[in-house]
Amino acid sequence: MIKKTILENGVRVISEALPNLNSVSIGIWVANGSRHEQQELNGVAHFIEHLMFKGTTSRTALDIAREIDSVGGILNAFTSREYVCYYAKVLDQFLPKAIDILTDIFTNSIFDPEEIEKERKVILQEISMVEDNPEDFIHDLFHQKFWQDHPLGMSILGSQNSINSLTRDGIITFKDQMYRAEDIIITAAGNVDHERLLLLLEKILPSIPAGNGRGNSAEPTHKKRIEAVERDLEQVHMCLGIRGLPQSHPRRFDTLIMNTILGGSMSSRLFQEVREKRGLAYSIYSYMVSHADSGSLVVYAGASPDRHQEVLELSLEELKRLKREPVSQVELDAAREQLKGNMILSLESSDNRMSKLAKNEIYFGEYQSIDSIIAGFEAVATSSIIDIAEQLMDDESLTLVLLGKVEDSHHFSGITLQ
């Protein structure tokens, strides 16, 4: 059973009782992320996420680690472009301890200047680690180009320059501005009682300042962009993308199935054609990125310098094929069952259930039942896939980014989905 309570200051508390589980997962979600930063503060949301584990008025960083370890629990956090989450997973008997630790770091972190400098070095190393891994770095480069001149194009981690320029006052000011009640959602799933959850949270929730910190972010615009970044690598890494759909778009089920057919699994068209039949790439796949107001469909591949152009041409051909030829009923049914199965299997864990509660609230404002999602997949037909492909696959948003030994990038300027 799912229950939701909105407190007087605007904090939302949502729980799903799963009495057959021995665990409880609880998360404190802040519904803003890197897209809500200014350019000069890029990376501050992620920096704050790190600093929240570095000591409070009553616990050192070591105390925090030891306490969660002593109950066999998991304590972690992550930052995205549209939200930050601090979460814990414990046996149900230790829920009070998990809440005590989570709420302590969320409200009482001290942002010690010495810890800030230590963590600055850690984040700079994290940025360097991504840049040293071309299969990771190419995706950052692609999003910077695809969302160019828009906050969605900024790195979640920030840049070397922006991280080095962040001050303690700037970090605290940003947190005070953004961590406000109307942007905070607390979700819990597992063997949890909603009323008991509210009682465990009652000491902390009223102290969270009312209001919200998010400004209105303009919807991004797109134009065709091609970029090659020269680097001495054994492979040429490629991201090819077009616009997608927002999280809550009514036609999202069409694009999810379309992506699965295109490159979402080992049985997909891209994997079978490029890797299995031709042996041109070890890794090739496609994926969807969906935000509150926009999205993208991206194809990734890594190929040798003398074969990457062939891989690109095959990828373009498979994209064009989706709007030119109806997919077979066999492909459609297989993709539909794959997505339904993946979803149902993922919801067998309390942490995934907890995350689903929060994301549904952020993007839909209400819970999306499993039955309604299955119904959405069941409604997809071969005609609806070709229709959405025709809508999305044009040259207006077509973006190609290459990383590696690209001798002549000029001949890529003529690529088209027409």
pLDDT band, very low/low/confident/very high, at 265 (cuts 50, 70, 90)? very high
Q: What is the per-residue pLDDT for 222?
A: 86
Task: Determine whether 124 is exposed, middle or buried from the number of CB atoms within 10 Å of its CB (0-12, 13-18, 19+).
Answer: middle
How far apart CA 303 and CA 310 sit, in angstroms, is 9
* pLDDT average, residue stretch 249-271: 97
Helix ranges (H only) for 133-282 are: 134-146, 160-165, 168-178, 194-201, 252-263, 269-270
- Tell me which amino acid residue 404 is: G
Q: Which active-site residues does the annotation give?
A: 49
Helix, strand, coil tally for the chain in percent (to 5): 50, 20, 35
- In this structure, the answer to whether residues 381 and 293 fall within a common structural domain is yes
Quick: pLDDT tens for 115-171. 999 999 999 999 999 999 999 999 999 999 999 989 999 999 999 999 999 999 999
User: Are residue 265 and residue 128 in the same domain, yes or no?
Assistant: no
Q: For residue range 274-291, what is the model confidence (pLDDT) as tens digits?
A: 999 999 999 999 999 999
- Picking from 207, 241, 274, the residue at the C-terminal end of a domain is 207
Going by pLDDT thresholds of 50, 70 and 90, the confidence category of residue 93 is: very high
Is the domain of 186 the same as that of 247?
no
> Rounded mean pLDDT of the chain?
94
| Tokens 């549209």 sit on residue | 82
Residues 76 and 118 in one domain: yes
Q: Can you give the pLDDT at residue 334?
A: 97
Query: Which pLDDT value is given to residue 216?
Result: 64
53 is in which domain, residue-wise?
A: 2-207
Residue 216 lies inside a defined structural domain of this protein: no
Q: 67 near 59, Cβ under 8 Å?
A: yes
- For residues 181 and 9, is the Cβ–Cβ distance under 8 A? yes
pLDDT tens digits, one per residue of 306-320: 999 999 999 999 999
pTM (2 d.p.): 0.94
Q: Please, are residues 417 and 399 in contact by the beta-carbon 8 Å criterion?
A: no
- Which CATH number goes with the domain that contains 123? 3.30.830.10
CA distance 165 to 298: 32
The total number of residues written for the chain in this structure: 418
Residues 230-250 have a mean pLDDT of: 95
Q: How far does CA 366 lie from the centroid of its chain?
A: 19
Task: In the chain, count H helices and then E strands.
Answer: 15, 11
Q: Answer left, alpha or beta for residue 180, where phi above 0 means left and psi between -120 and 50 means alpha.
A: beta
- DSSP 8-state class, residue 40: G
Question: What are 18-44's pLDDT values in tens digits?
Answer: 999 999 999 999 999 999 999 999 999
Tens digit of each residue's pLDDT (9 = 90 or more) over 355-411: 999 999 999 999 999 999 999 999 999 999 999 999 999 999 999 999 999 876 667
Cβ neighbour number for residue 311 with a 10 Å cutoff: 25
